[in-house]
Amino acid sequence: MSRLQESDSVLLGIEGDWWQIAGNPDLGGYGTGQQQPMDFAIWQAEDGTWQLWSCVRRTGCGGRGRLFFGWEGRNLFDTNWQPRGIVMEADPRLGETKGGLQSPFVYFHNNKQYYLYYGDWKHICMAQSRDGKHFERIIRENGITGMFSEGEEASARDPMIVQHEKMFFLYYTGVHKGRGSIYCRKSADLLNWGDSVVVSSGGSAGSGHTDAESAFVIHRQDEKSFYLFRSHSEKSASKFMTTVYRSPDPLDFGIDSDERKVALLKMEAVRVIVFNGDCYLASLNPDYTGIRMAKLKAGIRFAN
pLDDT the model gives residue 2: 27
What are the Cα distances from residue 184, in Å, to 144, 187, 223, 253?
22, 10, 22, 11
Whether 117 and 125 have beta carbons less than 8 Å apart is answered as: yes
Residue 51, amino acid? Q
The pLDDT, as a whole number, for residue 112 is 87
pLDDT in tens, 46-70: 999 999 999 999 999 999 999 999 9
| pLDDT confidence bin for 110, thresholds 50/70/90 | confident
Residue 255 DSSP symbol: B
pLDDT over threshold 90, residue 169: yes
Q: Which domains does the chain have, with CATH numbers?
A: 8-296 (2.115.10.20)
Strands 67-73 and 82-88: antiparallel
Compute how many other C-beta atoms are within 10 angstroms of the C-beta atom of residue 11: 21
pTM of the model: 0.92
pLDDT of residue 236: 59
**Residues 35-52, mean pLDDT to the nearest whole number:** 97
Tens digit of each residue's pLDDT (9 = 90 or more) over 215-272: 999 987 777 899 999 999 876 556 788 999 999 999 999 999 999 998 888 889 999 9
What pLDDT, on the 0 to 100 scale, is given for residue 12? 52
What's the average model confidence in pLDDT over 112-117?
A: 95
Can you list the positions of beta strands (E) in 202-275? 213-220, 225-234, 239-247, 261-265, 271-275
| Mean per-residue pLDDT of the chain | 90
Task: Encode 172-186: b = buried (16+ Cβ within 10 Å), e = exposed.
Answer: bbbbeeebbbbbbbb
The residues near 265 (Cβ < 8 Å, ≥ 6 apart) are: 8, 11, 229, 241, 242, 243, 244
- Kindly state the average pLDDT of the residues 65-83: 97
Dihedral of CA atoms 299, 221, 280, 269 in degrees, nearest 10, equals: -140
Query: Do 285 and 20 form a contact (C-beta atoms < 8 A)?
Result: yes
Nearest residue to 281 via CA among 210, 229, 224: 229
Residue 162 has pLDDT above 80, yes or no: yes
Q: Which residues make Cβ contacts (< 8 Å) with residue 177, sequence separation at least 6?
A: none
Tens-place pLDDT, residues 173-216 = 999 999 999 999 999 999 999 999 999 999 999 999 999 999 99
